[in-house]
């Protein structure tokens, strides 16, 4: 039921997330786009779980926990960089150059 459309939406969400990470310069927005990628994967898991049994739905809970932990660490790191540079724009964060 609705496997095709659900996968389509999930693919669109994932692509939006990837495009956002690559194109935007604001760290917070990049971080939100990464969360969008994880949620696209969640949607795919739930869509497949309709046919393949509850395992896919269980995985979604693990991923949500991981995303929450990642948000905690990520926001702390963004806060640390803001204290040093007074900015969250990647263009201005350039002490290390390769």
Partner 1 sequence: MPVAIDLSAPGGVALALLPEILLTVWACVLLLLAAWQHRDPDAHRRIGGLALVGLVAALVVMVWFWKSGTRPAGLPLMIALDTFRYAGAIVFLIGAILTVLLSLRYLGRERIAVPEYYALLLFAVIGMLLMGGAADLIVLFLGLETMSLAVYVLAGIKRRSGTSAEAALKYFLLGAFASGFLLYGIALIYGATGTTNLTVIAFQLSDGGLQDSALLSIGVALLLVGFGFKVAAVPFHMWVPDVYDGAPTPISGFMAAAVKAAGFAALIRIMVTALGESTAVWQGAVWWLAVITMLIGNLIALAQRRLKRMLAYSSIGHAGYLLVAVTSGTPAGASAFLFYALVYTLMTIGAFGLLAALGRDGESEVLIDDLSGLAAGRPWISFAMAVFMLSLLGFPGTAGFIGKWYILSAAIGTGQWLLAVILVLGSVVSAGYYLPVIMNMYMREPVERRPDLSASVDLVGAARGVVATAVVLLILLGVWPNRVLDLAVDGSRDLRAPALVTGTSP
Q: Is 38 in the site for partner 1 (CB under 8 A)?
A: yes
Do the beta carbons of residue 16 and residue 33 sit within 8 Å? Answer: yes
Q: Is 68 in the site for partner 1 (CB under 8 A)?
A: no
Tell me the site size for partner 1, rule CB under 8 A: 41
The CB-of-51 to partner 1 minimum distance in angstroms stands at 8
User: Which of 67, 69, 66, 90 shows the shortest CA–CA distance to 78?
Assistant: 90
Identity of the residue, 1 or 95, whose beta carbon is nearer to partner 1 in the bound complex: 95
Q: Is 16 in the site for partner 1 (CB under 8 A)?
A: no
Distance CA 3, CA 50 (A): 8
């Amino acid at each position: 039921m609705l496997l095709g459309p659900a996968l389509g939406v999930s693919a669109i969400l994932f692509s939006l997330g990837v495009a956002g990470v690559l194109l935007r310069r604001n760290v917070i927005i990049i971080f939100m786009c990464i969360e969008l990628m994880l949620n696209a994967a969640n949607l795919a898991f739930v869509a497949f779980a309709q046919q393949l049994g509850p395992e896919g739905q269980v995985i979604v809970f693990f991923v949500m926990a991981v995303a929450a932990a990642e948000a905690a660490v990520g926001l702390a790191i963004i806060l640390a960089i803001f204290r040093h540079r007074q900015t969250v724009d990647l263009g201005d964060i350039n002490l290390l150059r390769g």
